[in-house]
Amino acid sequence: MRVLLTGAAGFLGSHLAERLLKEGCEVIGVDNLSTGQRRNLDRLLAHPGFHFLQADVTRPLQVEGPLDWILHFASPASPPRYLKLPIPTLLVNAEGTRHLLDLALRKGARFFLASTSEVYGDPLVHPQPETYWGNVNPVGPRSIYDEGKRYAEALTMAYHRAHGLSVRIVRIFNTYGTFMDPEDGRVVSNFIIQALRGAPLTVYGDGSQTRSFCYVDDLIEGIRRLMEVDYPYPVNLGNPEEYRVLDLAHLVKELTGSPSSIVFRPLPEDDPKQRRPDITLARRLLSWEPRVPVREGLERTIAYFREVVAH
């Protein structure tokens, strides 16, 4: 297969590129490096099947030759990053998605949208199935990401219905693992970096809010399986095992052996109180469920970050 992958220098994009290259695919990786990391490209550029194009997908792309897939993973994804880049975040999910859908039509390619559990907002239904429409503040600070992804999903379905374009949509729940950006502000990377540096672990609110953490290898497996089925509607991928944020902080302290204290800060506006995927559909459609326990995944991630911090 010949694949165009946006967000290739990002955490998930670089893992997906690596998986596709191992399977013998040719991958054209696109990234504007606004939040992607050049070091994530190093292991990809050594592969003869990988080609990097530094470009902004909010403008139309010119790509030579045929394409089998367009995989749209470009977007700031952690709250600190997208809150600093509000307009680019909206545009990459609106104009970027439109340009890539148009390119898919021109190339006769299938289209894959990386969406997010954030489309459920601060959910009133728990756990969240794909049939739940969400509880999103459309003008709150997080709306730039939440509504951007909701629009991207709507646009993708419109191209599917109007043009018969073959599409896939994945709603990704909290994912962690190697090659995360240590400074991106997500809870797992925050806690690990703070613990390794002996700094206080920052918990927002009282830490009773819950998240579900999926190791990156499990997520990539789910994405590959979704590419192989003909199903255009959203599919949740995530770990249905639920953790309180405060319990995660204690687990990271234990696994790192850190003497760090825990400090509490005010909860950000519209921060979800609970988040857990209903993966009934993924189990039925893809025969998929996460296999890496959180403790094991954290140990792998901590080992990676120890090397990052050491350098």
151: domain CATH number is: 3.40.50.720
- Dist CA 67 CA 96 (whole Å): 17
Q: Are residues 264 and 125 in the same domain?
A: no
Coil, strand or helix: which one is 239? coil
**Cross-strand pairs, 168:** 112
Q: What is the pLDDT along the chain (311 residues), one digit of tens a residue?
A: 999 999 999 999 999 999 999 999 999 999 999 999 999 999 999 999 999 999 999 999 999 999 999 999 999 998 889 999 999 999 999 999 999 999 999 999 999 999 999 999 999 999 999 999 999 999 999 999 999 999 999 999 999 999 999 999 999 999 999 999 988 888 999 999 999 999 999 999 999 999 999 999 999 999 999 999 999 999 999 999 999 999 999 999 999 999 999 999 998 887 888 899 999 999 999 999 999 999 999 999 999 999 998 88
Q: Are residues 152 and 268 in the same domain?
A: no
Q: Which domain holds residue 298?
A: 181-211+241-273+292-310
**CB environment 112-123: b (16+ within 10 A), e (fewer):** bbbbbbbbbbbb
Q: Are residues 260 and 136 in the same domain?
A: no
Which alpha helices (H) appear in 11-142, and where do they start and end? 11-22, 38-45, 79-84, 86-107
8 assigned to some structural domain: yes
Q: Are residues 121 and 190 in the same domain?
A: no
Q: Are residues 113 and 57 in the same domain?
A: yes
Annotated catalytic residue within 82, 145, 159, 215 = 145
Q: Are residues 165 and 91 in the same domain?
A: yes
Q: Are residues 42 and 124 in the same domain?
A: yes
- Dist CA 179 CA 183 (whole Å): 11
- Dist CA 123 CA 210 (whole Å): 12
pTM exceeding the 0.75 threshold for the entire prediction? yes
Q: Are residues 47 and 123 in the same domain?
A: yes
Question: Which one-letter amino acid corresponds to residue 202?
Answer: T
pLDDT for 63: 96
**Cross-strand pairs, 28:** 4, 51
278 assigned to some structural domain: no
Using only C-alpha atoms, the chain has a radius of gyration, in whole angstroms, of 19
281 assigned to some structural domain: no
45 assigned to some structural domain: yes
Length of the chain: 311
Q: Are residues 201 and 222 in the same domain?
A: no
Q: Are residues 197 and 265 in the same domain?
A: yes
If you write DSSP's letter for every residue of 40-78 in order, what string do you get? HHHHHHTSTTEEEEE--TTS-----S--SEEEE--S--S
Question: Which one-letter amino acid corresponds to residue 256?
Answer: T
Known catalytic residue: 159?
no
- Dist CA 111 CA 148 (whole Å): 17
Q: Are residues 166 and 226 in the same domain?
A: yes
CATH code for the domain in which residue 246 is found: 3.90.25.10
Q: Are residues 232 and 115 in the same domain?
A: yes
The count of structural domains within the chain is: 2
pLDDT for 286: 98
Structural tokens at position 63:
């790509």
**CA-based nearest residue to 111, from 219, 14, 230, 16:** 230
